[in-house]
Amino acid sequence: MKNLFSGLTMKEVKLALIIAVTFFLVLPLFITEGWISLVIEILILSLAATGLNLMLGYAGMVSFGPAGFYAVGAYTTALVLMKTKLPFVLAFVSGPILTALLAVCIGWFCVRLTHVYFALLTLAFSQIIFTIIHGWYSFTKGDDGIVGVPIPDFLSSIYNFYYFNLIIIAGCTWFLWRIIKSPFGKTLQAIRENPQRALSVGINVHRYQLATFVLSGLFLGVAGTLFCTFSKNVFPNYAHWLKSTEMLVVCLLGGINVFWGPFVGSFIYQFLDNFISGYTLYWPLVLGTTIILLLLFLRGGIAGYVANRISLKQKTNKQVN
Amino acid sequence: MTLPGVIIQLLCGMSTAMGIFLIAVGLSLIFGTLRILNLAHGVLYMLGAYLCYWITSVLLPNIGGSFWWSLLLGPITVAIFGGVVEVLLLRRIYNREHLDQYLLTFALVLIVSDLIKFAWGVDFHPVPIPPVLNGAFFFMGLPFPKYNIFLICCGIFTFIGLRYMIYSTKLGKIIRAMLHSRDMTSALGINVPFVFTVVFMLGCWLAGLGGALIVPTISASPGMDMNVLIESFVIVVIGGLGSLSGAFLGAIIYGLVNAFGILIAPRLAVAFIYIIMIVVLIIRPWGLMGEPEK
Amino acid sequence: MFRVTKLKKSFGGLAAVNKVDFTLKKGEISSIIGPNGAGKTTLFNLLTGHIRPDSGSIHFKDKEITFLSPNRVCRSGIGRSFQKTNIFPKLSVYDNVQVALLSHHKKTRNLIQESGTIFKEETEEILQTLGLLDQKDMMAGLLAHGDQRILEIGITLGTHPELILLDEPTAGMSPEESKETMQLIQSTVRSRNLTLLFIEHDMSVVFGISEIVRVMHLGSIIAEGTPQEIRSNDEVQRIYLAEESQ
């Protein structure tokens, strides 16, 4: 796996990381506020997609309903802030925690099914979440959404929020990276490759799938909570299946077999969205065509393609030496 | 609630059910034979609806019976479009993972809905109900639109027609064999790609027909495909992926649950059907009328 | 150490495995042979918890394991391989074996530690025994068919079994390959002091290394004995001749 997909040595990875961190640290000094908020959105979507990809790419569990968890995270924080006097930290933490708890309940049912049935069950649950948010007007304000969530002042400045966001996302990404490199991560890949065989080497497949489901839900919850804190508004369409599909597209665009695939996907997706929307009303048309071209001519997503090229190059280098 | 009220509610549910049945059954057939979860199915339904509007109001506005012409021509156009898509795009990704197929059909959703927006704008386009079907019947003093009765009949006739096709024709035999096991059919020397194209076109035709039949009751508008797609999914899952009778049963359950659920809890009625879907998926993942995969 | 009593399983009225009794002694190498459709693989699936028996019982080291799930059966010390090659195709050869070790040592819940070097020595030792060490970084699915079958035995060894059940370990191999593989299996089993039970369709493979041969036909064990005894058994002769003439 490591030779196939990352193709980089530990040293190179560390170097790349240092460059990336420095880049993001100094970035706000050079760009306008509009761009900063775009970068924030990109990072939040990246986190959601990377969390989803733990399930999708590493455990091979195709979920059609990640947006449900994203919305639960966002709504929990929003509702706690609106309806209670609890401090911000508690409100912020409650989002991911509640999402993870919900993921335990939903996942318990879902992991019993396989393939397309698993996917459809996740879709059904996320649609229920959507319906509840949409229909329970007295509690969630339904279609109107919750507008003007009281966020503490120190996060109202976009610069402060940028760094707050960056720290949380860097932390979560680091944790996700450790997970996929850990024995747990390897076990997940084994389950993805061959659940029956995994069972026969003594792995309790369902339990690991449930754990993945919950971890994935946790990170989706963090992403939702961050987005709520950022935009100060939440709307029911956060739970809509279109949002779920957007996350899947982001993962696939970048490449699901590469850890940083969803990051690349998120960048490209949001950039295209912003640029093309500026020029034409027909952004979906462009996106759709891009997806089809990618599918037909660039299998494995963009990051997957690049990673393959790198490992190919290394192989030829080795042969030359 | 009085008896006539119940009957009217029942009819309401049935007419919703039969409209959505046309779409769901195509989705189910396509999944059963091609093993593709066709997200573009909703948008094909929308295309059918817009074509119906366009034929009745722009192409043939002044001849009598333009609606009937649109019922004939619209779905066929959708089917031809579907055939082209199948041959040019879907065919290249049958042996890929589910996700790639999911993504491709999603791309089609984006493209087709944007092309529709490009061609017809974002306004609502009403389609008049043909004069013969305008007005209402009375059941024990309560009115019920004639057109909805017509919809119910169309759904039932389509179901009977499809059943005949599946159980009594050669194509039907092949489709049933494919639903059962794919390897067997290619071993029997059947031209699989050709059958795939035909089934996909049939599914598209049904979606187009659904669109054309439903549009007089709701007007053609952007976004009309979104809910329909999800509802069709739910129906197909409840009935059983790939099962014809399952789609019919699922649609009826869907229609009735909606019609009566609204009386119990108006705002959360939509959730009931998802709860049914979850229960079915947990107890019988292959659906009420489907067969477990071997 | 391993005892099967009156094990029975039918599918729709047809008894696939019918009142099978046998015991295995520690360190014994034995085999089950029989024509296709005799119920051999079903028997294995019953033994490892993949299918639940209708009646009968299975005891391993004086504990009943009849209704345990496959992962619990594995934990109790029984490893198995499958008739159809059953590896983790997109993981490296190294990872294939390492996952089994991680599972055996209950390390799979570890979320933080870097996994690459855990049990490195042991993994490489197993690969060395099987002659796969040179190819450890290769994607398992790209190995030659014979090597994939051997890797599967490596995965099985990774779970530290005391008893291993191999389902047609040489399926799809050439006669020379089969012979080499069986010798490899024999020496590995001996040096690790394991108990081995394997299924084979091809009689010639079996007689070389088995101490006890059992013949299965239509769901029942019809003969049990040393290779010489089985070879001279009339009924066995008849069954195999009948099959060949078909």
At residue B185, the pLDDT reads 61
- Asked whether the predicted pLDDT for residue A2 surpasses 50, the reply is no
Please spell the DSSP secondary structure of A14-68, one letter per residue.
Answer: HHHHHHHHHHHHHHHHHS-HHHHHHHHHHHHHHHHHHHHHIIIIIS----S-HHH
C227/A contact by beta carbon, under 8 A: no
Task: Compare all CA atoms of chain C with the CA of A2 and give the residue at the minimum distance.
Answer: C92
Of C104 and B98, more confident: C104
- Asked whether the predicted pLDDT for residue A226 surpasses 80, the reply is yes
Residue A46: pLDDT band with limits 50, 70, 90: very high
CA A87 to chain C, closest CA, distance in angstroms equals 31
Q: How many residues does chain A have?
A: 321
A190/C contact by beta carbon, under 8 A: yes
- State chain C's mean pLDDT as an integer: 86
Q: In the complex, which subunits touch B with 3 or more CB pairs below 8 angstroms?
A: A
At residue B294, the pLDDT reads 52
CA C87 to chain centroid, in Å, comes to 14
**Range with the lowest mean pLDDT among B206-215, C156-165, C232-241?**
C232-241
Q: Which residues of B touch A (CB under 8 A)?
A: 37, 39, 89, 92-93, 98-100, 102-104, 106-111, 113-115, 117-118, 226, 230, 233-234, 237, 241, 267-268, 270-271, 274-275, 277-278, 281-282, 285-286
- Checking B246-249 for CB contacts under 8 A at 24+ apart, the result is B246/B28, B246/B287, B246/B288, B246/B289, B246/B290, B247/B21, B247/B24, B247/B25, B247/B27, B247/B28, B248/B21, B248/B25, B248/B159, B249/B288, B249/B289
Q: Which residues on A lie below 8 Å from B90 (Cβ)?
A: none
Mean pLDDT over C45-72 rounds to 89
Report CB contact under 8 Å: A125, B278.
yes
Mean pLDDT over C75-92 rounds to 88
Of all residues in chain C, what percent carry a pLDDT higher than 70?
A: 98
A318/C contact by beta carbon, under 8 A: no
Phi, psi values for residue C20, rounded to 5°:
-90, 130
Report CB contact under 8 Å: C74, A186.
no
CA A58 to chain C, closest CA, distance in angstroms equals 11
Residue A171: pLDDT band with limits 50, 70, 90: very high
A3/C contact by beta carbon, under 8 A: yes
Q: How many residues does chain B have?
A: 294
At residue A5, the pLDDT reads 40
Task: Compare all CA atoms of chain A with the CA of C140 and give the residue at the minimum distance.
Answer: A1
Please spell the DSSP secondary structure of B133-160, one letter per residue.
Answer: G-SEEEETTEEEEHHHHHHHHHHHHHHH
CA B128 to chain A, closest CA, distance in angstroms equals 30
- Asked whether the predicted pLDDT for residue A242 surpasses 70, the reply is yes
Mean pLDDT over A288-317 rounds to 78
Tens digits of residue pLDDT in C171-185: 888 888 888 888 888
**What is the bridge-based pairing of β-strands C163-167 and C14-24?**
unpaired
d(CA C96, CA B103): 31
A1/C contact by beta carbon, under 8 A: yes
At residue A137, the pLDDT reads 82
Task: Compare all CA atoms of chain A with the CA of B285 and give the residue at the minimum distance.
Answer: A117
Radius of gyration, CA atoms only, chain C: 18
Tens digits of residue pLDDT in C214-232: 988 888 888 888 888 888 8
Report CB contact under 8 Å: B274, A296.
no
CA A187 to chain C, closest CA, distance in angstroms equals 6
Mutate one of A282, A290, A299, A302 to test the B interface: name it (highest B CB count within 10 A).
Answer: A282
Q: Which residues on C lie below 8 Å from A205 (Cβ)?
A: 71
Q: With an 8 Å CB cutoff and a minimum of 3 pairs, decide whether chains A and B touch.
A: yes
Mutate one of A117, A125, A138, A253 to test the B interface: name it (highest B CB count within 10 A).
Answer: A117
Alpha helices in C105-233 (DSSP H): 120-130, 145-158, 175-191, 203-209, 227-231
Q: What stretches in chain B show pLDDT beneath 50?
A: none
Cut 0.90: pTM above it = no
Tens digits of residue pLDDT in A75-129: 999 999 999 889 999 999 999 999 999 999 999 989 988 878 888 889 888 988 9
Report CB contact under 8 Å: A288, B108.
yes
At residue C62, the pLDDT reads 85
Phi, psi values for residue C111, rounded to 5°:
-95, -15
Phi, psi values for residue A19, rounded to 5°:
-60, -45
- Asked whether the predicted pLDDT for residue C202 surpasses 80, the reply is no
- State chain A's mean pLDDT as an integer: 87
**Among B39, B115, B237, beta carbon nearest to A120:** B237
**Among A178, A190, A204, beta carbon nearest to C71:** A204
At residue C243, the pLDDT reads 64
Of C96 and A306, more confident: C96
Report CB contact under 8 Å: B230, A241.
yes
Output the CA–CA distances (angstroms, integers) from residue C224 to B109, C23, C166, C210, in the order listed. 65, 11, 18, 12
Q: Which residues on A lie below 8 Å from B99 (Cβ)?
A: 56, 62, 248, 252, 256
At residue A321, the pLDDT reads 47
Q: Which residues on C lie below 8 Å from A196 (Cβ)?
A: 82, 86
Contact C181, C150 (CB under 8 A): yes
Tens digits of residue pLDDT in B169-221: 888 888 887 777 666 666 666 777 888 899 999 999 999 999 999 998 888 88
ipTM: 0.84
Report CB contact under 8 Å: B106, A245.
yes
